[in-house]
Amino acid sequence: MLHTELASHLRTAFDDDRDADTFLLRLERYGPDLVESLTQVYGDQAPALLDGLIEVMLHAFHNRPPDLRRLDEARLLRPDWLQSPDMIGYVAYTDRFAGNLQGVRGKLDYLRGLSVKYLHLMPLLKPREGENDGGYAVQDYRAVRPDLGSMDDLSALARDLRGQGISLVLDLVLNHVAREHEWAEKARAGDPRYRAYFHIYPDRTQPDAFEATLPEVFPDFAPGNFTWDDAAGENGAGGWVWTTFNTYQWDVNWSNPQVFQEFLDIILYLANRGVEVFRLDAIAFIWKRLGTDSQNQPEVHWLTRALRAATRIVAPAVAFKAEAIVAPAQLIHYLGSRVHHGKVSDMAYHNSLMVQLWSSLASRDTTLFREALQAFPPKPATATWGLYARCHDDIGWAISDEDAARAGLNGDAHRRFLSDFYSGTFPGTFARGLVFQYNPATGDRRISGMAASLAGLEAALETGDEVGISTSIARLRLLHAVVLGFGGVPLLYMGDELAMLNDYGFETEPEHAPDNRWVHRPQMNWTLAEQARHDVNSPAGRMYAWLQKLVQARAATPHLHASVESRAVHSPDNRVLMLRRDHPLGTMLGIYNFSHEDVSFPTSALREHLGEQAEDRLSGGRLTFARPTVRLEPYRAMWLTEL
């Protein structure tokens, strides 16, 4: 229970008893989580920090717009809003999708055509000028990139989206700020308060000690994890600044309680502007510990839990999505395990699913896919996955040696095979991708490329191979059928709905040329989008029509509510992936042929899960399993539910 004296004191901060009751009831509900989490991280400093946080929360609560307060109440009544089968996400760069924020407001009809309910606009808060890591070097969290519009434009877009039932999703970079950020500028000017916001060392003693166990994120163009700055040290002397990602991105010091308060203030400010989901960027890196890789430390989860509890008190409509591209054993902690179960992020990326999709497509074998999924710990029923075939980032072959061994593979050899295959050097490959960040020390080669180019469409169009064109579209359709049939929030990456290809024009833009990830960050082709809606025989039209069909089938299939897990089950044919979902309405079985061949699949494997007959939610047909086999065409997908 909330302490009576504290409740009485806080009540004086309200003019309206109903507001006071709302705030105090939420504080009573989430306050213990907040206090416990702060105490775990900050110890004796927690009480003073809590006093400051209460002031921040009260200010944001009083300034929360009425329509967002109503949304808060609606979400409290429907806490599973992110888990619904009709939840479809779309991910785009604002400028590349529609020029600016006003332009996005003019494209809502297009988003409605795909039944989008979740719009993630890639980094749009004001970055540093020049090179800025694709917008992730933020100079001002309270301003929009000038060419995209203003903060008022962002609020107006959020209102329009809300009116259409679409939630606005924004990136919040937690690990670092731009060197030009106000905090860093004040630190360089000698202000001791702001120097304490960063990790700054007078010589290489501590940096070298940390470097002994730290990996390099961008070995090609940002080797090492520390950068010398002539003005960062005490009394105007120089210092070594922790810069995990790039020399111009200064890691902030989350062991300083004031940093926590600053970021909570930022979150609540943006929430009051209409942001409904925060993608917590680089969250795995925010706590540093000597002798480790300074990723996935226990304090990360206490800090996330504290941020979530404080945000729930002011803006319970808001959800957190963890951008943690880590091993499955670590990933589950970002959704909450043990004491954090259901109390940290509401959503996390299922990066492994994307990796396994492309792995199975290249090998035409799903054994590794099945082994990797079976090794995943179960997620909390209240959390959900963010699922995608492709995203704005490269594909890193995050395949563990243990999973590979269980599948009868050598992990290193398979990762090398995938890099060869998708960079176009493996004999007989259909893919057109680019190697990103080759690390000679580890042999690591990540891959850039649009889904359609990786799936073979680019090569087939160049040769006019009609069979190849149809086959590549079939591959893309299969990948998206798995994503939409897995359970979670499917995230459609801009252009994939039109089977758009690699954009090699990035090489002529000086700010993009060093980073080949821009090959899969094209300008939206609105002419192609218009054609796709009318010419269903073109590659774009076939892909667009298939996605619409998938979205409609998904919305009509309650078995895909994200509280239910997809489980990989044994398949009698390794070319075919089988995913089972046990819903109160009955079993659902996803069947996915990852090969270019017809497969005669034994119906006994289907009867084992579904009984004697089932409905295919994708074709609308009914299947009776009286015959010994059922034919699965190349890259065929079925969503079977028992009758």
Q: Give CA separation, 279 vs 8, 311, 510, 523, 569, in Å.
A: 36, 14, 28, 23, 31
Provide the token pair at 288: 């540093």
CB burial of residue 486 (10 Å; 0-12, 13-18, 19+): buried
Q: In terms of DSSP bridges, do strands 599-602 and 566-569 run parallel, antiparallel, or are they unpaired?
A: unpaired
Which sign does the torsion angle of CA 193, 198, 204, 206 carry?
Answer: positive
DSSP H or E run through 280:
strand 277-281
DSSP letter assigned to residue 290:
T
Is residue 381 helix, strand or coil?
A: coil
DSSP at 100: S
What's the CA angle centered on 49, arms 48 and 55, to 5 degrees? Answer: 100
In the 8-state DSSP scheme, what is residue 236?
Answer: G
Query: Would you give the distance in Å from CA 453 to the centre of its chain?
Result: 22
Residue 152 one-letter amino acid: D
Query: Any residues with CB less than 8 A from the CB of 6 and at least 6 apart, and which?
Result: none
Task: For strands 489-493 and 384-387, give the pairing.
Answer: parallel
- Rounded alpha-carbon distances, angstroms, from residue 431 to 262, 437, 457, 501: 45, 18, 8, 11
H or E stretch covering 605: helix 603-610
d(C-alpha 561, C-alpha 172), whole Å: 27
Pull the structure tokens for residue 74. Answer: 């609606």
DSSP 85: T
Chain CA centroid to CA 318, Å: 16
Query: Which residues lie below 8 Å from residue 235, measured CB to CB, with a gap of 6+?
Result: 190
Tell me whether strands 622-624 and 613-616 are parallel, antiparallel or unpaired.
antiparallel
Tokens encoding 212: 């002994």
As a whole number of angstroms, the longest Cα–Cα distance in the chain is 83
Cβ count near 28 (within 10 Å): 14
**For residues 91 and 491, is the Cβ–Cβ distance under 8 A?**
yes
Per the residue annotation, which of 281, 346, 393, 565 is the catalytic one?
281
Active site residue 612: no
Phi, psi of 322 (to 5 degrees): -85, 125
Closest CA to 471 of 457, 484, 454: 457
Q: What span, in angstroms and rounded, lies between the C-alpha atoms of 516 and 193? A: 39
Instruction: Give me the catalytic one of 251, 323, 371, 458.
Output: 323
From the number of C-beta atoms within 10 Å of its C-beta (0-12, 13-18, 19+), residue 388 rates as buried
Any alpha helices (H) in 327-484, and if so which ranges? 328-331, 351-363, 367-374, 401-406, 411-422, 451-454, 457-463, 466-484
- At 29 the three-state DSSP class reads helix
Catalytic machinery residues: 281, 323
